[in-house]
Amino acid sequence: MDVNGPDAAKSHLFYWFFESQTCDPHLDPGEQKRLIEETPLLIWLNGGPGASSSAGLFLENGPLRIADDAAGTISVSPDSWNQEAHVLYWDQPIGTGYSYCEKPETYVQDEDVLSTMFREGLQAFYATYPEYKPCPLYVCGESYAGKYVPAIALEISEHPDIKLKGIAVGNGWIKPELSVRVLIDYAYASGYLGRGQKEHLDTYYTNFTNVLEEGERTKEPKTLEHATDLGNALVDAVLAYGGNFDVYDVRRWDDLSAGALRPYMDSEGVREALNVRDSGVLWQFADNSGPVATALKADNMTDASKKYGDLMEKGYKVLLYTGNFDTACGYQSTEEILDALVTPHDTWHASPRLIWKQAQGNPKGFVRSLRTEKTGHSPGKSVTQVAIPDSGHEVPAYQPQVAREMLYNWLFDRPFVGQDPQSTVEEILKKAQ
């Protein structure tokens, strides 16, 4: 899609669209039109900054899977999110995947420009494929997209012709100050830090938060970039103390491999099939490094949590889910963010935390939710939090079936069938009195 980038430079945003598998070309045209329009449209963004959403497509929740072998073998995924929804995989900011700017070395430096470019790109998509404009829209993503998604949703919310219904974020980089503290605490609780090492890092953490607070107060880019340097140094220090465990899965020493994806995406046949061969741009993928991350350095450690609160107050559905073994953007930080944002606080705090069960075997997850009805000037509220056991940062990669079911339960207001353990706990405690 052609959009205006920074300094009005002409930019091109890459997308890869998959229609819902519920759509049947053999249906009566009127029935097919109704089915297309009633089916939700999900937009998926990976984080980074600089991580292409094609990684989410092939490694997490798309209809295709790529094997980590020399051939990069492609197979059909049985757990694709497009089984009951249209899914649009979107590469942003420019410099990510196949998205690029015609003005060399031009990159997005803040969420406002990114969100405007996204909205323009989405409107261009609707102009090209108007049959999907009536679809209920949900903006979804993971990791650093925890910043992109709410900013984009707020931008879209100012355009009522776009049928935005909600957002979903997995293991979101939302309030980095909190995520860094939780990382230190998690590493200590897991035995990757000793007490003396933790206390040493706590001193540096105080300096980091002081600089970040000054930067957020003054909006001075150099101060905010310094805060990012300090925050990243703390993460690196934790990993160095801990023997370089995988920050995205505390049980591992190496992150999930995407080794076969780059040669596949840059192969001549794939580039031709995706209509990007003539652009001259190679597929780009980075995780918090490279020119995309450098351009967003002042943005990296800033707090995006208020935007989630704004979306809740506007009545949009919000889903935040986390894999429990992620230390980069872990469960505790998500919990503390929601506890501070969701109102009424007493009702949210009193909401039961269900053990989401399956017929046999271990629990699928732990679910807390709040729904309030529309009354007077209040649009109502729908907030859902899910913790997924036995999962790292990329939940759909670790638990694909559970992730898909979680999404559809939230999307279509299906129940999370489970048990509130509170009465059992009270009985256990009472017996000990």
pLDDT tens sequence across 195-212: 999 999 999 999 999 999
DSSP 106-157: ----SHHHHHHHHHHHHHHHHHH-GGGTTS-EEEEEETTHHHHHHHHHHHHH
CA pair distance 210, 208, nearest whole angstrom: 5
- Do 299 and 401 share a domain, yes or no? yes
Least-confidence region, from 63-77, 159-173, 326-340: 63-77
Check residue 31 and give its pLDDT: 87
Task: Using DSSP, state whether 10 is helix, strand or coil.
Answer: strand
Place of tokens 């092939």: 58
Give me the residues paired with residue 169 across strands.
Answer: 141, 320
Report the distance separating Cα 40 and Cα 139, nearest Å: 11
279 and 353, same structural domain? Answer: yes
Tell me if 251 is assigned to some domain. Answer: no
For residues 139 and 44, the answer to whether their CB atoms sit within 8 Å is no
**Mean pLDDT, range 74-87, rounded to an integer:** 96
CA dist., res. 404 & res. 397, Å (int): 11
The predicted-structure confidence for 336-384, as pLDDT tens digits, reads as follows 999 999 888 888 988 999 999 876 778 999 999 998 888 777 788 899 9
pLDDT for 299 beyond 80: yes
CA-wise closest residue to 183 among 228, 243, 250: 250
pLDDT beyond 70 at 6: no
> pLDDT at position 90, please?
96
Query: Is the pLDDT at 221 greater than 80, yes or no?
Result: yes
What is the reported pLDDT for 21?
94
The secondary structure of residue 278, as a DSSP letter, is G
Q: Can you tell me the mean pLDDT for 233-248?
A: 97
Average pLDDT over residues 247-268: 88
Examine the domain organization and report whether 229 and 263 are in the same domain. no
Q: Is the pLDDT of residue 280 over 90?
A: no
The pTM assigned to this predicted structure is 0.94
In Å, how far are 13, 291, 333, 353 from 417, measured between CA atoms? 40, 45, 25, 12
Q: Is 180 a member of any domain?
A: no
Domain that holds residue 215: 193-241
Q: Is the pLDDT of residue 282 over 90?
A: no
> Within this chain, do residues 403 and 307 fall inside the same structural domain, yes or no?
yes
Instruction: For residues 9-18, give the mean pLDDT.
Output: 90
What rounded mean pLDDT belongs to the chain?
Answer: 93
| Residue 284 maps to a domain | yes
- At residue 162, φ and ψ (nearest 5 deg) are -95, 125
Strand, helix or coil at 89?
strand
Would 200 be classed as within a structural domain? yes
Q: Give the pLDDT of residue 346.
A: 83
- Nearest-Å Rg of the Cα atoms of the chain is 22
Burial class (CB in 10 A: 0-12, 13-18, 19+), 35: middle
Same domain, 285 and 151: yes
Q: What percent of the chain has pLDDT over 90?
A: 76
pLDDT of the residue at 27: 83
What CATH number does residue 154 fall under? 3.40.50.1820
User: How far is it, in rounded angstroms, from Cα 249 to Cα 390?
Assistant: 10
Tell me: the pLDDT tens digits for 31-55?
Answer: 889 999 999 999 999 998 999 999 9
Residues near 253 by Cβ (< 8 Å), separated by ≥ 6? 243, 244, 245, 246
Pair (230, 167) in one structural domain: no
Q: Is the confidence at residue 422, as pLDDT, over 80?
A: yes
Residue 291 and residue 147 share a domain:
yes
Q: How many domains does the structure of the chain reveal?
A: 2
Q: Helix, strand or coil for residue 307?
A: helix
Determine, yes or no, domain membership for 308.
yes
Neighbours of 72 (CB within 10 A): 18
What pLDDT score does 3 carry? 81
Residue 433: inside a domain: no
- Could you tell me if 283 and 262 are in contact, meaning their C-beta atoms sit under 8 angstroms apart? yes
Percent over 70 (pLDDT), the chain: 99
**395 shares a domain with 340:** yes
| Confidence at residue 5, expressed as pLDDT on a 0 to 100 scale | 67
Backbone angles phi, psi at 74, to 5 degrees: -100, 135
Query: Token match 């999110």: residue?
Result: 81
Give the per-residue pLDDT at 405: 97
The answer to whether residue 247 sits within a structural domain is no
pLDDT at 19: 96
Question: pLDDT at residue 8 above 70?
Answer: no
Residue 305 lies in a domain: yes
pLDDT category at 102 given cuts 50, 70, 90 is confident
- One domain for residues 213 and 261: no
* pLDDT tens digits, 137-163: 999 999 999 999 999 999 999 999 999
pLDDT at position 7 is: 66
* Residue 417 reports pLDDT greater than 70: yes
Dump pLDDT digits (tens) for 378-409. Answer: 788 899 999 999 999 999 999 999 999 999 99
Q: Are residues 407 and 382 in the same domain?
A: yes
Please tell me whether the peptide bond between 344 and the residue prior to it is cis, using omega within 30 degrees of 0: yes
**Exposed e or buried b per residue across 217-235, where buried means at least 16 C-beta atoms within 10 angstroms of its C-beta:** eeeeeebbbbbbebbbebb
Instruction: Report the pLDDT value the prediction gives residue 373, as an integer from 0 to 100.
Output: 83
CB 304 within 8 A of CB 147: yes
Note whether 215 and 144 are same-domain residues: no
Q: Verify that 231 and 270 share a domain, yes or no.
A: no
Mean pLDDT along residues 408-432: 94
